[in-house]
Amino acid sequence: MDLIDTLSPPLPALERPWARRLRDSETLWEIARGVGGGPFHVIHPATFAGNLGELVAALAAERVEGTVYYGKKANKAAAWLRECTRPGTGVDVASVPELVHALGNGVRGEAIGVTGAAKPDGLLWLALRHRCLIAVDAADELERVARLATELGETAEVLLRVRPPSAPDSRFGFAPDALKAAVRGCAEPVVLRGFSFHLDGYDPVPRAELAASLIELCRDARTLGHPASKISIGGGIAVSYVDAESWARFESGRHDGWFHARRNPATTYPYHQAPTGAAMVTAVLRHEIDGKPLAQRLRDNRIELLLEPGRALVDGAGFTVFPVLGCKPAEDHLITTVAGLSMSLSEQWKGSEFLPDPVLVRRDGPGGTPVRTIVAGSSCMEYDVLTWRAVELPARPRIGDLLVYPNTAGYQMDKNESGFHQLPLPPKVVADGDRWHVDTDHPIQEIR
């Protein structure tokens, strides 16, 4: 017997106005018909552009030079890339297909950062040909960069990735002694432009303090003749999916009985945080180290700050829609089955759960008696479940209704999607007011 003890408190998502308008419009049903009745993702480049502009403005407000690189791994859509061609922006990639995709959508090589560990020669070759900024992770990679640059007759613009002192067991970055050797080893055709790091978590303070230590690395590198003038603090710009009160209520009472089969995940994303987005960037820049804000230290030392956010740029810029296929009882709750697979909500495949409440959109409008349900995918796997937590819907879902999962553009949409059962991957639909089109790899149709 599978009894859910009590209904968990609601976790309504924080949604942008465009998403609410579209969800309640006839256009959503038009899209559903147009894509053939399966699941689909809706994305909104205008929201991405707004988020990007806010981060660029946060740097400018503190009079800090820098670049905001979109961490492309967060979402594969091409539509975002056209927004990354404006001044002060770029794209962060970690594979040949990602680099080609960015170049094919108008992002110049000089505005592309290439990261990741142990990059293959093919990626380094293409990055060097297009004069991308390469974050080097290890001594043997630095040797390969130098060799390939020499063969090509190109200059290699590099950052050296630092292993954070707080993560001595990390597989990424140079340990202190190896970093000193790498700095000494940078010589023509390799140009050391600065240093980078990535931190887990979403606290502004460790980022500011580690960035301050990288300023000192730049100063030391300059004494050796290197033009070190850039620091990348990576991504990890926080996002809030639900409000503070809802999250606190959920976390304070959370227990196994709220979840089907008692599948209460051990860890989840912190669905409410503060500060977030541009406010977090401002907090990093204003944090004082020995009485001096990081922003002032950057200015005094003529150092640019590079950011590589992914989730924060697509925050509020997309949602995912699953058509309902059926609904049946399971003791004291329902099991709603939808078209598609739980792989289209990647959080489920990290031993976790995407917790913001799904929204029921009924073809015949509101009405009915509230029910509580979990949501399952349409595969033959017992664990193909989109929402293990019993959530309350305003009415029993009917075949043909739509379940909308809000704010899924950040990592949820396509990180783990699979063609299992030979099901097609859900298309991404670009929304522009009441107009829409399917996202394509190369959206440039004409030059005006």
Query: Would you write out the chain's pLDDT as a tens digit for each of its 448 residues?
Result: 355 567 889 999 999 999 999 999 999 999 999 999 899 999 999 999 999 999 999 999 999 999 999 999 999 999 999 999 999 999 999 999 999 999 999 999 999 999 999 999 999 999 999 999 999 999 999 999 999 999 999 999 999 999 999 999 999 999 999 999 999 999 999 999 999 999 999 999 999 999 999 999 999 999 999 999 999 999 999 999 999 999 999 999 999 999 998 999 998 999 999 999 999 999 999 999 999 999 999 999 999 999 999 999 999 999 999 999 999 998 789 999 999 999 999 888 778 999 999 999 998 877 789 999 999 999 999 989 999 999 999 999 999 999 999 999 999 999 888 888 888 899 999 999 889 999 987 655 544 4
Inter-residue contact 51 to 279 (CB < 8 Å)? no
Catalytic member of 84, 132, 186, 380: 380
Q: Give Cβ neighbours of residue 216 (< 8 Å, ≥ 6 apart).
A: none
Structure tokens given for 58: 């946060």
In whole angstroms, what is the distance from residue 391 CA to residue 8 CA? 7
- Looking at residue 443, what is its pLDDT? 58
Q: Rounded to an integer, what distance in angstroms lies between the CA atom of residue 91 and that of residue 86? A: 11
Class assignment of domain 17-44+316-438? mainly beta
Rounded Cα gap, residues 349 and 342, in angstroms: 8
Is the alpha carbon torsion for 336, 342, 347, 351 positive or negative? Answer: positive
SS3 182: helix
**The pLDDT value given to residue 4:** 59
Query: Per-domain residue ranges for the chain?
Result: 17-44+316-438, 46-238+273-313
CB contact set of 45 (below 8 Å; sequence gap of 6+): 79, 80, 82, 83, 317, 430, 432
**Residue 14's Cα: distance from chain center in Å?**
17
Note the pLDDT of residue 210. Answer: 98
Q: Give me the amino acid identity at 141.
A: E
Rg (CA), the chain: 24
Q: Is 132 a catalytic residue?
A: no
Domain 46-238+273-313, classified CATH 3.20.20.10, yes or no: yes
Q: Encoding tokens for residue 91?
A: 């794209």
Per-residue pLDDT reduced to its tens digit, 72-100: 999 999 999 999 999 999 999 999 999 99
CA 188, CA 126: separation in Å to the nearest integer? 19
- Write down the pLDDT at residue 448: 40
pLDDT at 446: 45
Report the pLDDT value the prediction gives residue 416, as an integer from 0 to 100.
86
- Rounded to the nearest 5 percent, the helix, strand and coil shares of the chain are 35, 20, 45
Q: Residue 19 and residue 319: Cα distance in Å, rounded?
A: 8
Does the fold of domain 46-238+273-313 match that of domain 17-44+316-438? Answer: no
Q: What sign has the CA pseudo-torsion 146, 148, 153, 159?
A: negative
B/e letters for 228-243, b = 16+ CB within 10 Å, e = fewer, are bbbbbbbbbbbbbbbe
Q: Which residues contact 13 (CB under 8 A, 6 or more apart)?
A: 241, 242, 356, 357, 359, 406, 407
Distance separating alpha carbons of residues 385 and 348, to the nearest angstrom: 8
- Going by C-beta distance under 8 Å and a sequence separation of 6 or more, which residues neighbour residue 241? 13, 14, 269, 271, 272, 355, 356, 406, 407
The residue whose two tokens read 């089109």 is: 437
Give yes or no for a contact between 379 and 421, defined as CB atoms under 8 angstroms apart.
yes
> Can you read off the two tokens belonging to residue 205?
């303070």
Helix H or strand E encompassing 288: strand 288-289
* Cβ neighbours of 197 (radius 10 Å): 26
CA pair distance 49, 391, nearest whole angstrom: 33
**411 dihedral zone (left: phi>0; alpha: psi -120 to 50; beta):** left
